[in-house]
Structures are given as C-alpha cells and as structure tokens.
Amino acid sequence: MSNLKKILVNRISCKHVWFMRQAGRYLPEFRKIRKKNKNFIKLCLNSKLSSEITLQPIKRFNLDSAIIFSDILMIPYALGQKVEFEKNRGPKLNKFNYKTFLETGETDFLKKLNPIYKAIKKARRGLKKEKSLICFIGAPWTLIVYMFHLKNSNDNLNIKRFRYKKGDIDKIINKLIKFCCLHIKNQINAGADVVQIFDSWAGLIPINEVNAYCYLPNAKIVKFCKKNKIPNICFPKGIKKRYERFNKVVKPDGLSIDFKIDPMWAKKKLKGVVLQGGLDPRKLLSSEEEMIKGATKYIETFKDIPYVFNLGHGLLPETDPGKLKKLIKFYRNF
C-alpha cells in the first residue's frame, strides 16, 4: 500500500508531502515539452509525454506522491465540448450543447480518455511502490463554471448563464456525477491509488444552492469512492466556515484546506478526516523567511494529527523551483 493511501485509510500520522500543480509551468523541464506541444489537450492525451511530465517533480524533488498530468476539463472535452487553452488566458470552451452532452455514452467517453489511463499505467511503472499516484477530477459545479462560462476574469459569477429548468439542471449534474465516477474508476483501475476531487470554485456558489451544487454532488462521488474502497481527498476551495458542514455531510477521507482557512480553526472543527495543505502558494514568492514562517504555522499546528503537507491552492507559474526545494527540505527536517 502506498504511504498516502495508508494515511487516508488508517488515519495515521506519517510525513508526506506533495503539491497541487507540482507538474507544470514553474518547471523548466515542463516548459521545454510545452513549447513543442502547443495544443494542451493533445499534450494531456499524449501518454508518453504526460506520464513523463507526471514524473518530473518526483525526479527533481523526490516528492511522496505523483499526480497524473491531465486536466479537470478532460471530462467536458470527452462529453463533446471543444476545449482550448489560450496562452495566459485560461481555458476556452465552445458553447454547451445540451443534446450532445446528454447523448454521449460511456463507450465514447472512455475511448476519448483512454490515453489518460495509458499514461497512468506508464507513470505507475516509473514510481516506487511506496509512492502514491494521485488521479483527480473536477467536481460537477467547478466543471459547470467552465462549461457555461459562468465566471469572468475577475472571478465574478454570472449565474444567469446557468438558468435551466430545475429538471434539466438535475440531469446535467447527475450526468456529471456519473461520468466523474466513471473516470475515477478507470483511473484507479489503471493504477492510481488515491483520487483528489477539485471543487475550485465552490466558494462562488450562491448560498441557497450550496447544498445542491456542492455538498450533494461531492457526497455522491465520495460515497461511490467509499463503496469501491478508493481513498479520496476533497478540496472545496473558498467555502470558508462551511468547511465544517462540508466535512459532516460529505465525509471524505481527506480534506484539503485553502489558504483562507485558519489552521487552528481547522484542527478544532474538522474532525474524523485527514487534513491536507493550507499554505498560501504566494508565500513561495516572498522571502525565504516569510515562506518558512508561513509553513511553520501549519506544520506546528498539525504536528500531532494526521496531516499531508501541501499548499492552499496550486503552485504558481512564477515559483522558483529552488525555493520549493528549500520548503520541502524544511518540512522533512522539521
């Protein structure tokens, strides 16, 4: 059993560190590959390259877990929506087509995503057995934010673009839940041992919809994972004090906290779950002292409970890999 799996399943304390977006633009070895591969979706579907990128941060930093190089938007892509990434402008999706979306079946979906499963197999072969290979999905709401262009560049929500009949909204969410579970199951069958469920825009959900758009879909996916003995970590970013309710309703094995959550509060209120992360990724852009001071707050607070060291969101492209190396060393020597 990989170490991360042991921590999540048995809720044991054991030093473990990995980073969200550890495979990505801050690494020169990634940028080199990316430069020659302008189409991001195609790169995610190139099993040889995506498995190689997955292992880059492990080779460089000997991190305890690898996360498969892919994207949450591979699900809308496989459900028939065209996805493009424009340089420095983030993802751009074609207009949502309700009919195509509802009609896309499992066979088509899995055929499109098969290169990801192949990449997982390859990456697993390149990892020592005590290292985990994390797979991931985007939670339905966060996928909807991109599928319906609900967010502008200032992160303001335009919920009007998601005004469908109640029955249709339920159909969309249920279809996403089903295909999220399918994608998880296939990634695990290919050799991943833990899944992280990213609900990066959960904090934008209108208050009266949090139950329907955040707690319920996450709870259903976690229930599926538990039924299939798949260790899981949820990341409902930005929901503030509602993390407590989320934990009680969804009951994930692991809960990743964002940088706005006070670690002392988390320790007191989030029980029966393995906590992960928290440190503001911007701390890695400040002085070394500031970074260490920031990290100490989390490591010190969580030193006597099961805790996975990570950040409160993904590594920023401007991060200096040398700084990250120092942070890892500091954590390991703590």
Residues of the shown chain interacting with ligand CP3 in the complex, contacts defined by CB under 6 A: 20-25, 34, 40, 67, 69-73, 85, 90-91, 136, 198, 200, 314
Amino acid at 250: V
Q: How far is the CB of 222 from ligand CP3 (least distance, A)?
A: 17
Q: What's CA 295's distance to the chain center, in Å?
A: 21
Output 193 or 301, the one with its CB closest to ligand CP3.
Answer: 193
Q: How far apart are CA 132 and CA 177, in angstroms?
A: 25
Taking the complex as a whole, the smallest distance from the CB of residue 86 to ligand CP3 amounts, in Å, to 9
Q: For tokens 């998880």, what's the residue?
A: 184
Find the shortest distance in angstroms from Cβ 271 to ligand CP3.
25
Sorted by sequence, the CB contacts under 8 Å of residue 271 that are 6+ apart come out as 247
Nearer to ligand CP3, 76 or 306 (CB): 76
In whole angstroms, how close is the CB of 44 to ligand CP3 at the nearest point? 8
Residue of closest CB approach to ligand CP3 = 200
Q: Of 235 and 302, which CB lies nearer to ligand CP3 in the complex structure?
A: 235
Minimum distance, C-beta of residue 34 to ligand CP3, in the bound complex (Å): 5
101 vs 198, which CB is nearer to ligand CP3? Answer: 198
- Give CA 201 to chain center in angstroms: 12
Burial 37-63 (b: 16+ CB within 10 A, else e): eeebbebbbbbebbbbbbbbbbebbeb
Nearest to 220 by CA among 178, 270, 253: 178
**Nearest residue (CB) to ligand CP3, 84 versus 244:** 84
Residue with the two structure tokens 């044991």: 12
- Residue 91 or 321: which CB sits closer to ligand CP3? 91
Nearest to 98 by CA among 46, 151, 171: 171
Q: Is 162 left (phi over 0), alpha (psi -120 to 50) or beta?
A: alpha
Cα separation, 179 vs 194, in Å, equals: 17
Which is closer to ligand CP3, CB of 26 or CB of 101?
Answer: 26
Rounded to a whole number of angstroms, the minimum distance from the CB of residue 289 to ligand CP3 is 27
Residue 234: CB minimum distance to ligand CP3, A: 12
